[in-house]
């Protein structure tokens, strides 16, 4: 399949992919030539949240922006523009490379800047089982029950509906 520009692809959220050739395998993109995935346009608030996350973690690790860029195999200007909130539409590849250097899970970064829709976020129980795979089922159930009590106490009702999460 060939495209001249602006094909939209869903990766849990809508991104833009501009390229000359897209390679598919069973409906999944497996490669492309001369293109990159672009994040949706970030609001200034989202850019600030992203900048704070990246800059804060970089400082925790004692790394310069230039060192992060070198390790991520990107230009130092790419890191600086993100930290200065002057790149409202970074590429997914750039963010993935920076997150790898800073040891930030990409899903956490996407959730923090509210790019990943709520419908794509895991409910609490499967999250616990995935994140803490060695945790006994009893402990997962205890944590889930405790979280439900906290949600009721603070009148938080935007979690999964009854029976929606796995138990």
pLDDT per residue as tens digits for the range 59-91: 999 999 999 999 999 999 999 999 999 999 888
Q: How confident is the model at residue 166 (pLDDT cuts 50, 70, 90)?
A: very low
Half-sphere CA count of 102, side-chain side, radius 13 A = 30
**Residue with the larger pLDDT of the pair 88 and 8:** 88
Handedness of CA 45, 41, 58, 116 (dihedral sign): positive
Nearest to 111 by CA among 126, 121, 101: 121
**Residue with the larger pLDDT of the pair 115 and 5:** 115
- Most confident of the ranges 26-40, 70-84, 89-103: 70-84
* Burial degree of 98 (CB within 10 A; 0-12, 13-18, 19+): buried
**What is the DSSP-derived secondary structure letter of residue 14?**
E
44-118 fold: 434 Repressor (Amino-terminal Domain) (1.10.260)
Helix (H) or strand (E) holding 151: helix 137-153
Instruction: Write down the pLDDT at residue 161.
Output: 53
Distance CA 108, CA 104 (A): 7
Q: Where are the domains of the chain?
A: 7-38, 44-118, 122-153
Helix (H) or strand (E) holding 98: helix 92-102
Q: How confident is the model at residue 132 (pLDDT cuts 50, 70, 90)?
A: confident
Pairing between strand 21-25 and 28-33?
antiparallel
Helix axes 44-60, 92-102, angle to 10 degrees: 30
């Amino acid at each position: 399949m060939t495209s001249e520009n602006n094909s939209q692809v869903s990766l849990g959220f809508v991104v833009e992919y501009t390229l000359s050739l897209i390679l598919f395998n069973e409906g999944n993109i497996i490669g492309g030539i001369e293109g990159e995935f672009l994040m949706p346009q970030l609001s200034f608030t989202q850019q600030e949240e992203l900048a704070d996350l990246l800059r804060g973690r970089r400082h925790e690790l004692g790394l310069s922006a230039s060192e992060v860029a070198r390790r991520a195999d990107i230009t130092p200007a790419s890191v600086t523009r993100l930290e200065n909130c002057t790149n409202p539409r970074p590429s997914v590849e750039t963010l993935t490379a920076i997150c790898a250097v800073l040891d930030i899970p990409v899903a956490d970064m996407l959730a923090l800047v509210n790019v990943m829709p709520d419908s794509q976020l895991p409910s609490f129980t499967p999250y616990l089982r995935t994140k803490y795979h060695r945790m006994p089922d009893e402990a997962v159930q205890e944590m889930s029950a405790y979280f439900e009590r906290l949600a009721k106490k603070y009148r938080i009702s935007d979690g999964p509906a009854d029976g929606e999460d796995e138990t």
